[in-house]
Amino acid sequence: MNRIAVYPGSFDPVTNGHIDIIERAAKIFDAVYVAVIRNPEKSPLFSIDERVGMLKASLKARKKIRIDSFDGLLVEYARAVKATSIIRGLRAVSDFDYEFQMALTNRRMDPSLETIFMMTDYKYSYLSSSLTKEIARLGGSFEGMVPPGVMRKLRSLKERGV
């Protein structure tokens, strides 16, 4: 049996917390589609090509992990790639309300899809893409928070005047 999971998100940009979840999921599933939403509600800082590019550069070529992008409903994308599970990372209790609502809405739309919550290593549990962008804008250090390629990209933000 092929157990396929989708790990969706904005990944604006990918953090070490995301990478940790992807690696954990790859131990459980036969294939993990990391699905980058093309047009998230919140307007992303990085383009879809940049977000996908940073993920590809951060994850060594691994047969089980595929980096993809999607638009529209997540449940439709999951069906298209024959996934049976949606992976979401849970950090603090503050994530719960939104995740709970999203998981039950997705279940309402497709009862065959199961949402599975995973926890990152505690050392990443405080991390968020938004905070890394803020640190970058203010010229702080985000050492250990994001993969090296993302670090370079965040540093270049200042040069781009973002």
Q: Residue numbers of the site for ligand PNS (CB under 6 A)?
A: 8-10, 37, 40, 73-74, 102, 105-106
Q: How far is the CB of 101 from ligand PNS (least distance, A)?
A: 7
Residues 6+ apart with CB under 8 A from 161: none
Nearer to ligand PNS, 100 or 158 (CB): 100
User: CA 36 to CA 14: how far, in whole Å?
Assistant: 10
Euclidean distance between CA atoms 16 and 36, whole angstroms: 16
Minimum distance, C-beta of residue 95 to ligand PNS, in the bound complex (Å): 9
> In the complex, which residue's CB is closest to ligand PNS?
9
Place of tokens 């919140």: 42
- For the chain, percent helix, then strand, then coil, each to nearest 5? 45, 20, 35
Q: Tell the smallest beta-carbon distance from residue 109 to ligand PNS (Å).
A: 8
76's tokens: 């439709």
Residue 13 vs 31, nearer CB to ligand PNS: 13
Asked if 161 and 45 count as a contact pair (C-beta separation under 8 A), the reply is: no
CA distance 110 to 33: 18
Residues with catalytic function: 18, 42, 91, 129
CB of 151 to ligand PNS, least distance (A): 20
Query: For tokens 């390629």, what's the residue?
Result: 149
Instruction: Closer to ligand PNS by CB, 9 or 17: give it.
Output: 9
Q: Which is nearer to ligand PNS, 102 or 157 (CB)?
A: 102
